[in-house]
Structure 1
């Protein structure tokens, strides 16, 4: 893929936002160590971040289908950062839940609009959406290192320093907003060809993403604690495991876009989920240093379909791209956090190994659902545009015009 400045900026901004999704799980060991929270209690924190995000993302998706709201990009980035920054300043469990929930709403507001704009900027390219998703994965991967560097040195009282990526992300959004304003002033727009929504396929896709979300958020919530158990109580082992989990996702996102250029998206996602069944089992059951290899393979396997699912959702629900983005990139991803308290409760009653074992079934369910999905055939690149008159075509987002990307 040739240089595409808007995609690069959106990807970088995505990294700055998703660092806060990763930060919630990264803070879990510190809440346990500093505040003696139980597995169930820290699961509640993850739930607080996920619950409001799950509800809010499709709402923001519907809104962005009706009105252009590019201003959401910097505003939501700042909101996501402020929530996490305040999460460690009070010893109150209730306030901690409120602050991480605020961060979750910020993340929820960012994703639908950014995914819509990224699709336009990438002209419907699988690689373009893959590069956009890569930014989010990098944010996830950086989160445990950033949290460890800040919180491990001075405790939870230093979480206000974690607002810095949000400030950077908000600034990165500004050039994209200026490009959108120039396009609006020029008064140009691109109409979307009329197509019938495939709602049945969209529902099946959404269920597959929910299953993926349950296993990924379940692992991201408890992998650092599980690694600490497996590796003799080392906090470093937990940080490394979480970093590997998120870094593998960055590799998987780029790989997914490349594979989809050779085979269709449904085939690539189906095989990836099938392989992930064995890799998740390896994380849970294989002893020794091989644990880290299976963490990396699991992450890559779960993220190969990630950006492909976003564009599939947009194609199945082509008349409502914002809604589709809010659900596939938001609701179904965040809703996995709803299972975290159940996993935590089982872990408190038995062991983490027992609690994590059912996660092996989740990618198998995703595989079964993908076996029933068709690969949509859509025109390019007009499908990436918004309905006529909202003025955000791909050329406008590229400073050098349509040949720049």
Structure 2
């Protein structure tokens, strides 16, 4: 007989594993870049255009999916979007046409966009308002990122880009995990109950003051996440090539640097949830951005094997606030948690892909080191935006002094 504790943790565990399978395809696009450069002789700008294609449609449609999940529970999006994300990447290496490659990775980006707003909303309901539980959900995605270079290398290094259809396997596993999680959680009933509770409180149906959205704070938070995203996506696209130059190593040296960048997020994400429980979300997020300024400077300036240490510190600094961005955004917009999830987990992250072609063009004109140098300033700008943010629900914040509506709703069981 399953215990009461296992019945509570099972849905979140399955969701976390499914998240890992989906985010393999966010990491896979960047991991494929060196193979496109080597096998098809793409320039830096052309290769970064592939990264842009993966993120462009995602950044456009993600808020739409977030708005849809504000109105209706759409649990079926989880397995369907997982399969779409995997199919796009699997087809990316099949044709030699640059246009078809762009189209394939764009399809994958749409799948990723459709997945995240609904998944974040469902995971927050399953986590029952726990920062640590949401950190575990985010950890799943980070592990998927970390596994992507290894999976791509295993599939493509021996068979070439035409072996990319093998990369559909994680999508098949992820879709099955999503279905199992939804059955375990009974999402339609839970989502309906949470939505009804939130709507009743927002309309004053319970006799309490209406909960308001703090759009000003949310926009500042989103600006900081955009800064974080540009740094992360820019490094994801080029750290493999850059590590080869700075360390004098070959393909293994580049793959190792990308793996460290992704894997360091596992430690950072879990640490973020635990640190926030003890010290509060905003102090932890601010210190993380401050650390990232120094770490990115090390990546750009430090040569040799010490580069890997700087990459690891950068990864930790970028990932400690990752799950905290999600819960902060949801609590700033308690009446639009789907939109908040779509923006903090999707749109702002996707915006990093829009800046990647600029980095690639600058690298073609000068060097990769010169192109990556501006990334040092972005975490500092993010810190300035975060420095003046209030804690959601605190006296003086736009939402008033009531606890966030989302947290009250998720604490209720159907």
TM-score bucket of the superposed structures, by smaller chain = over 0.9
C-alpha deviation, 1:186, in angstroms:
12
> Could you tell which deviates more after superposition, 174-183 or 53-62?
174-183
Q: How many residues are paired up?
A: 390
- Do structure 1's residue 238 and structure 2's residue 254 form an aligned pair? yes
- Do structure 1's residue 93 and structure 2's residue 98 form an aligned pair? yes
CA contact (8 A) 2:25 2:148 kept: yes
CA contact (8 A) 2:129 2:411 kept: no
The correspondence of residues 336-355 of structure 1 with structure 2, limited to 5 A, is: 336-355=352-371
C-alpha deviation, 1:228, in angstroms:
1.1
Any unmatched runs of 5+ in structure 2? 203-210, 394-400
- Do structure 1's residue 169 and structure 2's residue 192 form an aligned pair? no
SS at match of 2:375: helix
C-alpha deviation, 1:102, in angstroms:
0.2
Any unmatched runs of 5+ in structure 1? 387-391, 397-405
Aligned to 2:351: 335
Aligned to 1:262: 278
Name which of 214, 228, 239 aligns with 1:223.
239
Aligned to 1:83: 88
C-alpha deviation, 1:395, in angstroms:
3.9
- Do structure 1's residue 58 and structure 2's residue 63 form an aligned pair? yes
C-alpha deviation, 1:35, in angstroms:
0.2
Aligned to 2:397: none
Aligned to 2:208: none
Aligned to 2:321: 305
C-alpha deviation, 1:316, in angstroms:
0.4
Pair 1:186–1:222, CA change in 2 (3 A): closer
SS at match of 1:288: coil
Aligned to 2:406: 383
SS at match of 2:390: coil
The correspondence of residues 4-403 of structure 1 with structure 2, limited to 5 A, is: 4-179=9-184, 181=186, 184=189, 191-192=197-198, 193-194=201-202, 195-377=211-393, 383-384=406-407, 395=413
Structure 1: distance between partners of 2:408 and 2:119: 13
Pair 1:86–1:368, CA change in 2 (3 A): same
Structure 2: distance between partners of 1:360 and 1:336: 14
CA contact (8 A) 2:247 2:303 kept: no
Pair 1:384–1:186, CA change in 2 (3 A): closer
TM-score by length of 1: 0.93
> Could you tell which deviates more after superposition, 369-378 or 337-346?
369-378
CA contact (8 A) 2:65 2:342 kept: yes
RMSD in angstroms over aligned alpha carbons? 1.9
CA contact (8 A) 1:124 1:380 kept: no
Structure 2: distance between partners of 1:183 and 1:19: 27
SS at match of 1:91: coil
Structure 2: distance between partners of 1:381 and 1:373: 16
TM-score by length of 2: 0.91
Cα displacement string for residues 190-246 of structure 1 (whole angstroms, at most 9, x for unaligned residues): 612331111100000000000000000000000000011112240000000000000
Pair 1:91–1:5, CA change in 2 (3 A): same
CA contact (8 A) 1:123 1:380 kept: no
Structure 1: distance between partners of 2:311 and 2:293: 12
CA contact (8 A) 2:286 2:386 kept: yes
CA contact (8 A) 2:79 2:178 kept: yes
Aligned to 1:389: none
SS at match of 1:191: helix
CA contact (8 A) 1:284 1:356 kept: yes
CA contact (8 A) 2:78 2:118 kept: yes
SS at match of 2:347: helix
Structure 1: distance between partners of 2:185 and 2:274: 28
Structure 2: distance between partners of 1:152 and 1:299: 25
